[in-house]
Amino acid sequence: MSHLTRYIPQRIRGKHIDPKAWRHMDRAAHKQLLKRIITYAIFLLIIFFVIKLVPRIWADVEAGDPKLVALAVPFEILSVGGYVLLFWAVYGAAARMLAQGSDTPARPLSLKESMQLTTSRLALGDTLPGGGATGFAVQFWALARAGFNAAQISRTTTAFLILSNTVMTVMIMVLGVAIGAGIVAGDLHPALTWIPAAIAAGVVVVILLFARKGKTFVPPDPDSRKQLTGRFAKARTLIREVGDRLPPGAYDAIRTLRRPAALTGMITNPGFDFVAFYLGIASVTEPIALPVMLMAYFIGQVGSLVPLPGGIGGVQGLAIAVLVAGGMEAHYATAGVLVWTGVSLGTQIVWGMWQYWFLRKSIKRWQADDDAAAAGSGGASAPAPSA
């Protein structure tokens, strides 16, 4: 089973979807969501009491400038808006990629629908223990209901993931070299400059090579592939599947860069989020050198790959470590990052949970359109594209 599409139930992998099959699943999903939210609330309460046990950090948070914290909120909203714009640009481009064998989604998503889907995914990824993986499961579910088949979801999601992490990768590479060589202000150990820069450069080269290969790449038929067994079978299978999906996804990502909306979303999403990060730090203490602050933010984003609710723990731990290594006192770094985390998660959860209900209405409308199209075509069940 594909690791990128394993969250799509077997009965809806493909273009034909049985609407009745989702009725029980939707009710079960709501019950599971409620349980997970309660679990997450308890988790937050534990964190709250742990923080209260560290008087110095809590004192820093309480003594913070509320005006700067309030100022961070609109920048975080703009950051999420950039993420929505990038999502819409990527999936909108996928709908129009007819040349050279690119997949074409059955229903191009509007900007409004993209906002509903993206913010819902962020909110559920922030609240459920599976973190980003759970959020993407919700996204795959909604895309399948929109008429995307498994191959289209895998390919387009690969392109989206590449583009959404491009700025982070490039900035780690550029900042690592600039700080390590003394071109810009900042005093960091080579383990936090040259080594991350080398890894990021390697990632960029690999993606470009895969994009070049993806122009004429035809994925092999899954049914014809021999199942791997023996030692490290799971790891080898994962590597093989990544090798099958990266070329077309990377190629689509490069092509999507031609769209101004994609480029704008790529820059504004991390750009405005960094401003919120900076304001969170500034609300409790004097920020250190800007290049080090940038490095702390972008290295911290690598922690979002850890399957935790909202990346809590991974993102914060890496960001705090770099800030401390750059000369900031640990209690100030912890307090500032916690303030930013509260603003970021609060914005995403409130906005996303609100949009989730609109997403469900959109899904019901898609299903009604499909049912009407099926009735009009004499019982065919293929989804009908919406304008």
Q: What is the pLDDT of residues 152-207, one digit of tens each?
A: 788 888 889 899 999 999 999 999 999 999 899 888 888 889 999 999 999 999 99
pLDDT higher at 354 or 104: 354
CB distance 162 to 262 below 8 Å: no
Closest CA to 105 of 387, 344, 385: 385
- The C-alpha atoms of residue 285 and residue 275 are separated, in whole angstroms, by 15
The pLDDT score that the predictor gives to residue 307 is 54
Task: Note whether residue 32 is domain-resident.
Answer: yes
240-255: burial string, b at 16+ Cβ within 10 Å, e else: ebeebbbbbbbbbbbb
pLDDT higher at 1 or 257: 257
The pLDDT score that the predictor gives to residue 263 is 93
Task: Note whether residue 49 is domain-resident.
Answer: yes
Amino acid at 143: L
- Residue 7 pLDDT > 60: no
**pTM assigned to the model:** 0.76
pLDDT tens by residue, 118-136 = 898 888 777 665 555 666 7
Task: Note whether residue 260 is domain-resident.
Answer: yes
Task: Note whether residue 214 is domain-resident.
Answer: yes
**164: containing domain:** 21-373
User: Looking at 98-102, 257-261, 363-367, which range is the least confident one?
Assistant: 98-102
Look up residue 100 and give its DSSP letter.
G
Task: Note whether residue 338 is domain-resident.
Answer: yes
Mean pLDDT of the chain: 78
Task: Note whether residue 135 is domain-resident.
Answer: yes
Radius of gyration of the chain (CA): 22
Tell me the CA distances in angstroms from 117 to 205, 263, 354, one per residue in order.
31, 20, 11
- The C-alpha atoms of residue 302 and residue 314 are separated, in whole angstroms, by 8
pLDDT tens by residue, 21-37 = 444 445 566 666 677 77
Q: Angle at the Cα of 17 (from 15 to 21), degrees rounded to 5?
A: 155
Task: Note whether residue 8 is domain-resident.
Answer: no
Task: Note whether residue 97 is domain-resident.
Answer: yes
Closest CA to 342 of 287, 280, 268, 262: 280
Tell me the CA distances in angstroms from 145 to 90, 106, 152, one per residue in order.
18, 10, 13
- DSSP alpha helix (H) spans, the chain: 21-52, 55-62, 66-96, 111-127, 132-145, 150-164, 166-180, 194-214, 233-256, 260-282, 290-302, 314-325, 330-376
pLDDT tens by residue, 209-253 = 888 888 777 766 666 667 767 666 666 776 777 677 788 888 888
Residue entry with tokens 């009491």: 49
Provide the domain count of the chain: 1
- Residue 5 pLDDT > 60: no
pLDDT tens by residue, 286-331 = 999 999 999 999 999 887 766 555 555 678 888 999 999 998 988 8
